Amino acid sequence: MVDPIYIVAVLLGISFSLGFIGKKSENIAGILSLLALGFTTLVSAQWFYNFVTADIETYHIFTTAFKPPFSINLMMGKEEALFTMMINAIGLFGGLYMFDRLKAAGKNSFIALLMLIMGLNVVVMTRDLFNLFVFLEISSIAVAGLIVLTQNTKSISAGFKFMIATGIISGLLLLGIAFIYNYAGSLNIDHILTQNLEAAKGLSIAIFFLMIAIVLEMKPFPANGWGLDVYSSAESGVSSLLSSAYATATVFVLMKLLPFAPENLQFLIAAIGIITFVFSNLMGMRQDNPNRMLGYSSISQIGLLAAVIGISSVIGEYTYFIVISILISHFLAKSGLFWIAGIVKQESIKNWSVLRSNKLLLVLFGVFIFALTGLPPFPGFFGKWELVMHLAETKNFIWIFAVLIGSFFEVVYMFRWLGYAVKNDIIIETKLKAKIHQIIPLLLFAAAAFGAGYYVSSEHPYASLINYLPLAVALGFAFIEFLPVFIKNTLAIAAMAAYFYFNYESYNELQVIFAAIFIIGGILTLIAGYAYKGKRQGFYPFALMMFAGLIGLVEATTTLEFFFAWELMTIGSYFLILRGKKSIKHALSYILFSIGGAYLILAGFGLAAIGKPDISIGILSNIELYAPWIFGLLAIGFMTKTASIGLHIWLPGAHAEAEADVSPMVSAILLKAGVFGLIMLFLAMGEQFIGNISFAYILSWVGVITALMGNMMAAFQEDAKRLLAYSSIGALGYVLFGLSLMSHLGWLTAISFSVTHFMFKALLFLAIGGVVWRLKTKDMYKMGGLIKKMPFSFISVLIGIIVLAGVPPLTGFAGKWLFFQAVVEKQWFLQGAVLFFSGIIAFLYCFRLIHSIFLGQPKDEHRNVKEAPFWILVPQYAILMVIMLFSMLPNSLLKPIGDMLMPYFPDGAITWDGQMATTALGYWNGKTVMFIVVGVFAIVFGWLVFMNRNAKKVKQFNIGYAAERPFLPETTHYAFNFFAPYKKAIGFLVAPGITNFWHRVDEGAHSVSDKFTKIYNGNAQSYLIHIVAFILVIYLISFGGF
Amino acid sequence: MSKEHTEKRIVYSPEGDPIEVNPLQDYFCEDLPEVHKASSIAILENFRNWARSRSLWVLGFGTGCGAIEMRPLMTPKFDAYRYGIQWRPTPRQADVFVVSGYLSVKTLKRVIRTYEQMQGPKYVMALGSCTINGGMYWDSYNTINRLDYYLPVDVYVAGCMPRPEALLAGFDQLKKIIREGRGEGYNKYAEEFAWYKANQKKIIKDWDMPDYNW
Amino acid sequence: MKEIIDRLQELYPIGDFKQQNKSLALITVDKDKAVDFITRLKNEEGFLHLSIITAVDWLEKNKFQLSYLINNPTTKNSFVVRVMIDRENAEMFSIHHLWEQAATYQRELKEMFGIDFPGSPGVDKPFILEGWHEIPPYRRDFDTKNYSEETYFPREGRTKNVPAEYMKQKLYPDE
Amino acid sequence: MDPLIKQILFALLTIFIVLNYGLIVQGIVRKIGARVGRRYGIPFYQPYIDIIKNYSKRTRISHGIMYYIAPVFRLTGGIGLLLFIPVIFGNNMFQNFSFSGDLLLILYFQFFGVLGMALGAAESGHPNSAIGVSRGLSQVTAYELPLTLGVLSLAVQYNTLNVSEIVAAQQGGILNWSFFTNPLASIALLLAFLAAMGRSPFDVVLAPQEIPIGPPTEFHSGFLGVLQLNRAIFPIAKLILFMNLLFGGATNWGELIIKTFFIYMWSVFVGVAFPRFRVDQSVRWYLGVPLIIGVAAVVVSKFF
């Protein structure tokens, strides 16, 4: 193995030798520097590899013949190897990325780069305090040199502020070191640590200065204005060095020096860190400039790390794992994002739509955003999970709250940015061209993000259980994007079918039901994808990712697997929703609600794991502590997905704007993920109480109001898909109510209704999607009379609405019947009556849907429209056949579900006699009802045909029109504001109160963020005052001044 | 009404292809009426005629001043309900069209349209001298003289205006006609359709509807 | 009434003043000054209400007479302002800017007499008649009886009687 | 005889009796209305003549397939509803097909015909039809709420949703009728019944003078004939249901006719006395007093 001293030696040597190279030979200088950096990267990588695989001993380097504390010594351990590897890598690839920029600035810039990296390497490896100070100085001077690469007022003033600030910091550091030397009589870290620090009076002041200097290097809120100016004005490549290399080294220094600090100072550092994390992210929401936004993000991430390190005594041995996983995510993602920002060169994130001109960059951008926000499968995900778990374990609930709220703020602005990039309307003509030396680092870092994710999860005791196969298949589709839709669709269907075929036997009944909804339902909706032409890029990886998540939910045995799958599903569906038209706003609100919900789930799982030996799902069923809290957190988390009232505002837009086959995916299938979660929760935890009131009772009302409001709002929509989306909200209210009944019949209702809802909602969304496909509008009043043009779609919608409305003899009635029996049995009459009422309101929108689109007056523009594409009809008719089967033989659906529920709710089951269902209260025979209705219908129909056999077919305006004639179909088709009188009577119930509430929350957060951002006025003097005031305040706090 | 609605126009399909719309052809059924033979089974047809005569549903369409004489029919004093006569609001469900008084050309157009929208067998009862020979408007530039040139009239009730008693007598007469199987005015209309249409078109200059309004 | 006219006599060439009764007077004004005059009556003399605009066909004089009946709601006096216009290419200035409802009267006059009011809203749209292609029916040179006989299939055998004599004969044939 | 065939024959008999009863009662009600207005009025058999007349029409037009089968839906809804209700208590054969479902099936099956009819009316393309449907559906939602509460209250009282058992529980004297044992639920149900019958003041759906009889405005000839058959059967089926729920059912046809006739009179008298509500008025009205009575009924039967 190469001695690590050569890292320093080579870097120093090359940078000195660059001085001898002629003025014109920047190329040679550059290549030499890169070679040097490559060498150092390899050296540290080799050390790291050996540490990981061979578990070798820590290596010490002694610079002179004396042993420490009489000489300076360096150390190469596993941590050092990792950190130097990261620093060298960013030096190498950052240098490569900036190659032509540095070359243009002259060879001295290469020297600055090499000095920076060299300095940081030593900062990491050294065990000597003064040495640390010296090399930190060298690095910061090198950084200042790099900052002023861009010769404009902004960057020069930023460089000046940087020098001033680091000057103060160095002064403090030096002061601290001097005092320590005075009291401890040594500069060697290990040596000082062996002494009894407590004993030395006055040493605490010394350590305070030392630590505060390091903390200031991390740019804590609010004394970080100087850092932000650097991020926003320096070259992107330099910012990436600063954010990734410099900050990484600082984090390591903090870890190294932490043992110096007494317990209370450690907590103070942690508090500073978490405050920085929350507030920087809060202010990040207000940013429009990408570099400055990334600056806020960098500062916040480092703040989080400082917080984690600060409370390492609480977290214990896992600190290292958490820090490393979060840091690696940050390191890779932030450099990548800074580099992309350097290529895009847009001052406002709104203009990032230009990124669409380069697909590769767009994909990389997405990967980095996900890595940064801690979504799976990237390492940050596991870091955040472990962090929350350990904070919960030690009951630091406020910390959990702070971590999650800060992360949530970060998600807000990162995904807004991503949304703008993928979907914003601003069209900029320039085609982005990235040079090859800029692309290579990006690609390598993106790959490293995946690799690191896999590595980190393999280190984790439970993460290694996660089934990566579905995710791998989904990602695999990213590599066959060049294939036409037909092949990809077939492959996707085959993959899902094969997965189901090989696995379903290992599922229990509940899992089979939901796996069937997820996978068979998924296959059905995928069939509609054959209707698309071309390549349909960016659809299959995400669709399959969503299904991978759904499958993961069903299969999850640990809470970590469950959460992983939940996040995966969220990501996939986010992109599917983002594909729709005008989706940018809706997709953002979708991801925000989903991630907010996911964080609640995370917190819930964290609380659940307190005092438990493992994290299997089963721990939910024997919880002693905080049970109502856990139940509440998890229930609300799941209810964001089922879009219960209050949490529903993301749904209508998201589902309505999606594509023809995506709407059924997200509406008929995805929502069931929330149902599955709730079922799991109820099964595990049973009834929970707040005081005397049962949670189930509260949820029953939530479900009832959701159903009522969902249905009522659906009745007043003009947009067909929005109508169906609101109807989904209402239907999920039914399911929630059914579950909250906590009885056999209630659950039977809920689960069978979930299945039925999947069928009719998929049917309706596909049929309406087919109509919209042909008509290119979603407004119902612009349609009309399409029954003659689209008879097959009409039949689908007809059957769909009959099932939806629950009118016998079709299978929808089963749900209504069961539900009524369950209500009477449970004696929740008021809820039952309101729910029945909302079921009747469903008639309103059902009729409106079919009337406005298929009946009434055909429009002139639609004379030549064709029936919906064949492949969109195929799944509809497959579903239709199943509906007919279940209608004829209701026990083929209900009996297996009832049997499945027997172990959980043995009382009150239905007795079956053939197709005759009997409960304690009533009875129903689906088959005879069907026969009677069909029989009577046939006879009456025969009679009518006999009477009216020679009826004259007439055209659309042959109507008795008060002796006049209609003139235009548009003015004759009564469809707009169809339920005007109804709206007049009870429209006040559907005033957009909840939407307004969330808007106000949004505005409030942004205006708070605005207030705080104002303290950064760009003035060096005020930044100085911030720093001094900060030090003073911290001093007073730590020494009891307050 | 304004003319542009009856002229040809171009609309564009969702794909942007032009579609030519010819309102008269495209919105209205263009077929001509057919003659419907009475059933050859005499007893059946007699039974049906009895039912038709006992259930006369009148279209509530007052064309002229005579409409005011129709209202008292439903009051306790005359009570036409007892003869199975009642008013229907839509031509689709009505059997008898009572043309109550003078007809301007403009109204005639609506009357023809409405008459054609009724389902056969259907009957026309014309009130007052105006429908017989023009009455006091015999030399007006805008009022027709003889209704039977435009529609097949089954019963005329003379007078200016006829009182409700006369109307009842008219209904009685109509019943007799129907019972005897002579209430085939609508078949006559179909048989001599060309002649009726020519007469109608002679005075309705801007003919902006199909030849037969189904 | 007379006082008003006396006052305005100097400004407008007013001819043929005739006090029909206590509250109604007829006056004739030149076509060019008519709108000006009516405007003055409305704005300064309180004749705020336009009751009707109608026309008389003076076939023999080859003139149309337009009569504007305007009313002062406080004094309850009315003027009939008469304007004589040529029968050929009959045309008159519109007063719809004074009273909106004038446009309707003007539309009717255009249809029935063929008097044009350029600028009046919707004056060319058919008002009552649908598809009328003859000369305007209220002109005296339009022979309505002849038109009716040619167009509307008169019933043969229609006879005319003097009602009183006919009824006498019918009821009391012996006397 | 095969029991199934016997059952079908009895079902046909039920339909026949109810059809005739429905037509005659229609005529009688109109006759009573005439006599109240001091008119002589129609002959009581006038509804028969009207139906025969409509079937005797020689021409008919069709606006499309849904329009064509809408009357079939409507009549199937009426007949089906009748067949699912146990008509005569204690008579096995006149229980008809009530073994195939309980009260809930009946409540939901009502809508089968309504929705089918609404679809057909909509296909006629007439705006007045669509307006009528819009009004009708709005009104349905409103009166269903007190109706449901009343039914729930009865279900609690008798602890069953089986109509036959509800009737059985009311046997043994007038005072055992739900009308007396559960007056609040009865009031709620009878108020809902008014709109269910579609008579004034809740007849804005048809509104002959305003939207020429609303949904069926384009129906005529044979189509109208089928609708008229339904108009005879459907109200009687509803009457029988209310009789079963509130007035102890009937043990023979005579009792049935007397009871249903008086229940019918309730809606007739209200209709004669009150003018028509607008839709928003009737919706608001049903969400007021009847709703409160319904809630009270449920609360009372749950806790007392």
B2–C133: do the CB atoms touch at under 8 Å?
Answer: no
Give the model's pLDDT for residue B124.
Answer: 92
Backbone angles phi, psi at C121, to 5 degrees: -60, 130
Q: How far off is chain B from A1000, nearest CA to CA, in Å?
A: 39
Residues of chain B contacting C128 with CB distance shorter than 8 Å? 106
Q: How large is the average pLDDT for residues A519-545?
A: 85
Q: How confident is the model at residue B96 (pLDDT cuts 50, 70, 90)?
A: very high
Task: Give strand ranges (E) for A898-1005.
Answer: 911-913, 916-918, 923-925, 952-953
User: Averaging pLDDT over each range in A531-535, A977-981, B82-86, which range is the top one?
Assistant: B82-86
Instruction: Return the closest-CA partner of residue A529 out of A1005, A898, A871.
Output: A871
Q: Which two tokens stand for residue B49?
A: 């005629």
Mean pLDDT computed over every residue of chain D: 85
Q: CA D163 → CA D100, D102, D234, D255, distances in Å? A: 12, 6, 18, 18
Chain A to chain D Cβ contacts (< 8 Å): 244
Q: List the single residue in C128, C132, C153 with the smallest CB-CB distance to B145.
A: C153
In this model, does residue A214 exceed pLDDT 80? Answer: yes
* Percent of chain A surpassing pLDDT 70: 98
Measured CA to CA, the distance from residue A781 to residue A760 in angstroms comes to 23
Residue A1041 has pLDDT above 60, yes or no: no
Are the Cβ atoms of B14 and A863 closer than 8 angstroms? no
Predicted confidence (pLDDT) at residue A496 exceeds the cutoff of 60: yes
Strands A923-925 and A916-918: antiparallel
D43/B214 CB distance under 8 A: no
Say which CATH number the domain at B69 has: 3.40.50.12280
- Dihedral (C-alpha) C1, C2, C7, C11: value to the nearest 10 degrees? 90
CA A819 – CA A737 distance, rounded (Å): 9
Euclidean distance between CA atoms A105 and A146, whole angstroms: 10
Residue in B14, B91, B214 nearest the CB of A776: B14
**Nearest residue in B to A862, CA atom:** B13
Taking an 8 Å cut-off on Cβ atoms, the answer to whether D298 and A928 are in contact is no
Q: Which residue of chain B is at minimal alpha-carbon distance from D218?
A: B92
Å from D44 to nearest chain A CA? 26
CB contact under 8 Å between B90 and A960, yes or no, is: yes
Structure tokens at C62: 């080859």
CA distance A682 to A695: 10
* pLDDT at position A68: 66
Q: Which residues of B touch A (CB under 8 A)?
A: 1, 5, 11-15, 17, 19, 21, 23, 26-29, 31, 61, 90-92, 110-111, 113-114, 117, 209, 213-214
**D227 to chain A: closest CA residue:** A944
End-to-end alpha-carbon separation of chain D, Å? 49
How many domains does chain B divide into?
A: 1
Q: Is the pLDDT of residue A957 over 70?
A: yes
* Rounded Cα distance, C41 and C36, in Å: 9
Between CA A986 and CA A981 the distance in angstroms is 9
- In angstroms, what separates the C-alpha of A955 from chain B's closest C-alpha? 5
Interface size B-D, in CB pairs within 8 Å, comes to: 75
CB contact (8 A) between residue D149 and residue A923: no
D285 to chain A: closest CA residue: A985
Q: Which residue, among A513, A792, A521, A808, has the nearest Cα to A667 in the 3D structure?
A: A521
Which chains form contacts with chain D, at 3 or more CB pairs under 8 Å? A, B
| Overall average pLDDT of the A438-448 stretch | 86
Q: For chain B, how big is the Rg over CA atoms in Å?
A: 19
Torsion of CA A725, A728, A730, A736, to 10 degrees: -140
Residue A278 Ramachandran class (φ > 0 left, ψ -120 to 50 alpha, else beta): alpha
The answer to whether the CB atoms of D56 and B51 lie below 8 A apart is yes
Give domain status of residue B103, yes or no: yes
Residue of B nearest to C136 (CA): B141
Task: From residue A369, give the alpha-carbon distance in Å to each of A374, A416, A419, B149.
Answer: 9, 11, 11, 84
Averaged pLDDT, A741-752: 85
Measured in angstroms, the CA of B16 and the nearest CA of chain A are apart by 9
Residues of A in contact with D296 (CB under 8 A): none
Contacts of A979 in chain D (CB under 8 A): 134, 137-138
Residue A615 has pLDDT above 80, yes or no: no
A257: nearest Cα among A312, A216, A207: A207
Which is nearest to A116 in space by CA: A145, A75, A80? A145
Of the candidates A861, A953, A963, the beta carbon closest to that of B11 is on: A861
Of D46, D56, D60, the CB nearest to B48: D56
> Which residue on chain B is closest to D125 by alpha carbon?
B27
pLDDT tens, chain C, 175 aa long: 777 777 777 777 777 778 888 888 888 888 888 888 888 888 888 888 999 999 998 888 888 999 999 998 888 888 888 898 888 888 888 888 888 888 999 999 988 888 888 888 888 888 888 888 888 888 888 888 888 888 888 888 777 778 788 888 888 888 7
Q: Does residue B208 sit within a domain?
A: no
- Residue D101, strand partner residues: A924
Task: Answer yes or no: is pLDDT of A65 > 70.
Answer: no
ipTM of the complex: 0.87
Tell me the domains of chain C and their CATH numbers: 2-171 (3.30.460.80)
Q: What span, in angstroms and rounded, lies between the C-alpha atoms of C11 and A747?
A: 96
Using the beta-carbon criterion (under 8 Å), do C155 and B109 form an inter-chain contact?
Answer: no
pLDDT (tens digit per residue) in D22-61: 999 989 888 888 888 888 888 889 999 999 998 888 888 8
Question: How many angstroms separate the CA atoms of C132 and D104, rounded?
Answer: 65
What is the Cα–Cα distance from A346 to A353, expressed in whole angstroms? 10
Q: Contacts of residue B4 in chain A, CB cutoff 8 Å?
A: none
D-B interface (Cβ pairs under 8 Å ≥ 3): yes
> What separation in angstroms does the CA of D33 have from each of D39, D203, D232, D266?
8, 16, 18, 13
| A touches D, CB cut-off 8 Å, minimum 3 pairs | yes
Domain coverage including residue B193: 56-203
Question: Which residue in A162, A925, A509, A1012 sits closest to D98, CA to CA?
Answer: A925
Helix (H), strand (E), coil (C) string for A994-1031? HHHHHHHHHHHHHHHHHHHHCCCCCCHHHHHHHHHHHH
> How far is A857 from chain D, CA to nearest CA, in Å?
5
Tell how strand C24-29 and strand C77-86 pair up. Answer: parallel
Nearest to A960 among B11, B31, B91 (CB): B91
Query: pLDDT band at residue A1040, thresholds of 50, 70 and 90?
Result: low
Give the residue, A42 or A1041, on which the prediction is more confident: A42
Confidence band, pLDDT 50/70/90 cuts, at residue B1: very low
pLDDT at D96 over 80: no
- Does B78 reside within a domain? yes
Q: What is the pLDDT of residue A198?
A: 60
Mean pLDDT of D102-125: 84
Question: Which one of C111, C125, C149, C153 would you mutate to disrupt binding with B, by most B Cβ within 10 Å of its Cβ?
Answer: C153
Q: What is the pLDDT of residues A497-512, one digit of tens each?
A: 888 888 888 888 888 8
B to C CB pairs, distance under 8 Å = 59
Q: Which of B32, B37, B48, B55 to mutate to test the interface with D (most CBs of D within 10 A)?
A: B55
What tokens appear for D208 in the block?
């002959």
A799 within 8 A of A885, measured Cβ to Cβ: no
Q: Which chain D residues have a beta carbon less than 8 Å from that of B47?
A: 52
pTM over the 0.80 mark: yes
Calpha distance A925→A914 (Å, rounded): 9
Per-residue confidence at B175, pLDDT binned at 50, 70, 90? very high
Question: Looking at chain A, which residue has its C-alpha nearest residue D133?
Answer: A847
Residue B132 Cα distances to A972, B71, B149, C160, C161, angstroms: 37, 22, 10, 15, 17
Q: What is the mean pLDDT of chain A?
A: 83
Nearest to D220 among B54, B75, B93 (CB): B93
Chain C residues with beta carbon closer than 8 angstroms to that of B142: 129, 137
* Nearest chain A Cα distance for residue B100, angstroms: 15
Cross-chain Cβ contact B19/A775 below 8 Å: no
Residue B174 domain flag = yes
SS3 category, A718: coil
- Could you count the other beta carbons within 10 Å of the beta carbon of residue A65? 7
CA-based nearest residue in chain D for residue A786:
D123
B51 at D interface, C-beta within 8 A:
yes
Say if CB D112 and CB A838 are below 8 A apart: no
| pLDDT-based confidence at residue B3 (cuts at 50, 70, 90) | low
Task: Provide mean pLDDT across the span A222-239.
Answer: 80
In a domain, B90, yes or no: yes
Does B77 map to a domain? yes
Cβ-defined contact of B92 to D49 (cutoff 8 Å): no
3-state helix, strand, coil in chain A (%, to 5): 75, 5, 20
Percent of chain A with pLDDT over 90: 0
